[in-house]
């Protein structure tokens, strides 16, 4: 049903750092490499070290898996289209210097209007593949497909979290789950109107959300939920397929910047969750920066 995705993520960085990078040889190499060029300012050194650490983690993962790895662009650039493009190009360049082709990399960007337009340019002009994250709403998904991005990773569980926290309803049947419904609508829209953008559902809170999306292009499933699924003897029914998508009553919509911003503002959940997600990813980046700052001092 699903293939696992791999992600270079600041949150993991911190943990992995603590666990096994006490004697980080690669980081020391990065350190030396950076120190060799005296005219860099402290901030530039820090940025280079951050980039290098991202690449090293990606490389480590690519050494052990056959597929692709996602490397995230610093969330503090989420509203800076040119900044995201520059950073993505830089990361791909660093991978290339390590002998890794861009086909094995997905650049992970926030699904802000700016992020989506950055992805449009990265895909069309540079052939750099993007994984759009912090995606909670249909209009974000439509804008991503229009921009020709390779993959979106809508967050199913975080949509549920918002509803549990902000409404009276605390639990949902799988097919009534707001996260499942959101991804189903996006999947149907993509298939009905022949978009190639791949839908990779992510952030699951329970197995019902996963089985409720059986048939989706790809899903990111945590080891704990995979384990639960493997214990289950329930029959698994396909919920998403092209036939059902074609039968859905979805109509084609046009999403320009004004419509995108309006629709995001109308959708309290998506608006909250996008902002919250950016804040959290940014906080993680700062944590990692502080670790690196100490190492560089
Ligand atoms: C894309 O990013 C999401 C997080 O937004 C992650 O769960 C997923 O594994 C990534 N996909 C790939 C193929 O790397």
Domain locations along the chain: 43-294
What is the number of the ligand 1 atom nearest to the C-alpha of 131? 1
Residue 37 pLDDT: 54
Whether the per-residue pLDDT at 16 is higher than 50: the answer is no
At 19, list the tokens: 């666990």
Tens-digit pLDDT profile for residues 79-105? 999 999 999 999 999 999 999 999 999
| Ligand 1 mean position, distance from CA 106 (Å) | 8
Whether the per-residue pLDDT at 18 is higher than 70: the answer is no
5 lines ligand 1 (CB under 6 A): yes
Residue 11 pLDDT: 47
138 lines ligand 1 (CB under 6 A): no
Residue 21 pLDDT: 43
Of 205, 189, 204, 297, nearest to 251 by C-alpha is 189
Q: How much is the average pLDDT of 28-53?
A: 76
* pTM, to two decimals: 0.89
Residue 286 pLDDT: 96
Whether the per-residue pLDDT at 2 is higher than 90: the answer is no
Q: How far apart are CA 237 and CA 223, in angstroms?
A: 21
Tens-digit pLDDT profile for residues 233-263? 999 999 999 999 999 999 999 999 999 999 9
Given ligand 1 and candidates 9, 69, 70, which is best to mutate, with the most ligand atoms within 8 Å of its CB?
A: 70
At 6, list the tokens: 């791999």
Given ligand 1 and candidates 133, 204, 213, 217, which is best to mutate, with the most ligand atoms within 8 Å of its CB?
A: 133
| Ligand 1 mean position, distance from CA 278 (Å) | 16
Whether the per-residue pLDDT at 230 is higher than 50: the answer is yes
Percent of the chain with pLDDT over 90: 85
Residue 237 pLDDT: 96
202 lines ligand 1 (CB under 6 A): yes
Residue 40 pLDDT: 85
Residue 29 pLDDT: 54
Q: How far is CA 276 from CA 142, 152, 213, 270, 272, in A?
A: 21, 18, 25, 10, 6
Percent of the chain with pLDDT over 70: 87
Q: Does domain 43-294 match CATH 3.30.1330.20? A: no
Q: How much is the average pLDDT of 275-281?
A: 98
Residue 297 pLDDT: 84
Whether the per-residue pLDDT at 23 is higher than 60: the answer is no
Q: Which of 52, 102, 108, 273 is catalytic?
A: 108
Q: How much is the average pLDDT of 227-236?
A: 95
> Mutual orientation of helices 42-64 and 268-296 as an angle, nearest 10°?
110
Of 284, 194, 180, nearest to 245 by C-alpha is 194
200 lines ligand 1 (CB under 6 A): yes
Given ligand 1 and candidates 108, 119, 209, which is best to mutate, with the most ligand atoms within 8 Å of its CB?
A: 108
| Mean pLDDT estimate for the chain | 91
Of 216, 212, 210, 215, nearest to 229 by C-alpha is 210
Distance of CA 13 to the CA centre of its chain: 15
Tens-digit pLDDT profile for residues 132-190? 999 999 999 999 999 999 999 999 999 999 999 999 999 999 999 999 999 999 999 99
Whether the per-residue pLDDT at 35 is higher than 60: the answer is no
Q: How much is the average pLDDT of 31-55?
A: 81
Is residue 258 flagged as an active site residue?
no
Tens-digit pLDDT profile for residues 110-122? 999 999 999 999 9
Of 191, 195, 200, 194, nearest to 243 by C-alpha is 191
Q: How far apart are CA 129 and CA 123, in angstroms?
A: 6
203 lines ligand 1 (CB under 6 A): no
């Amino acid at each position: 049903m699903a293939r696992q995705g791999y992600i270079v993520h600041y949150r993991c960085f911190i943990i992995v750092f603590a666990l096994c990078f006490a004697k980080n040889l690669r980081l020391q190499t990065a350190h030396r490499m950076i120190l060799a060029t005296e005219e860099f300012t402290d901030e530039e050194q820090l940025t280079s070290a951050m980039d290098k650490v991202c690449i090293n983690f990606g490389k480590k993962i690519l050494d052990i898996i056959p597929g692709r790895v996602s490397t995230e662009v610093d969330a503090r650039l989420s509203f800076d289209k040119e900044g995201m493009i520059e950073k993505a190009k830089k990361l791909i360049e660093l991978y290339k210097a390590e002998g890794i082709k861009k086909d094995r990399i997905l650049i992970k960007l926030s699904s802000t209007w700016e992020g989506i337009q950055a992805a449009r340019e990265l895909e069309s002009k540079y052939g750099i593949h993007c994984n759009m994250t912090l995606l909670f709403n249909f209009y974000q998904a439509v804008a991503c497909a229009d921009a020709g991005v390779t993959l979106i990773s809508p967050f199913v569980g975080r949509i549920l979290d918002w509803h549990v926290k902000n409404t009276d309803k605390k639990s949902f049947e799988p097919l009534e789950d707001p996260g499942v419904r959101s991804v189903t609508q996006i999947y149907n829209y993509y298939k009905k109107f022949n978009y190639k953008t791949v839908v990779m559902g992510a952030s699951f809170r329970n197995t019902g959300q996963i089985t409720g999306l059986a048939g989706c292009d790809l899903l990111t499933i945590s080891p704990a939920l995979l384990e639960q699924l493997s214990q289950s003897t329930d029959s698994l029914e396909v919920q998403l397929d092209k036939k059902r998508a074609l039968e859905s009553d979805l109509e084609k919509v046009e999403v320009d910047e004004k419509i995108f911003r309006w629709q995001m503002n109308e959708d309290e959940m998506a608006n909250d969750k996008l902002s919250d997600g950016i804040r959290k990813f940014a906080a993680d980046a700062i944590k990692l920066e502080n670790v690196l700052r100490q190492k560089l001092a």
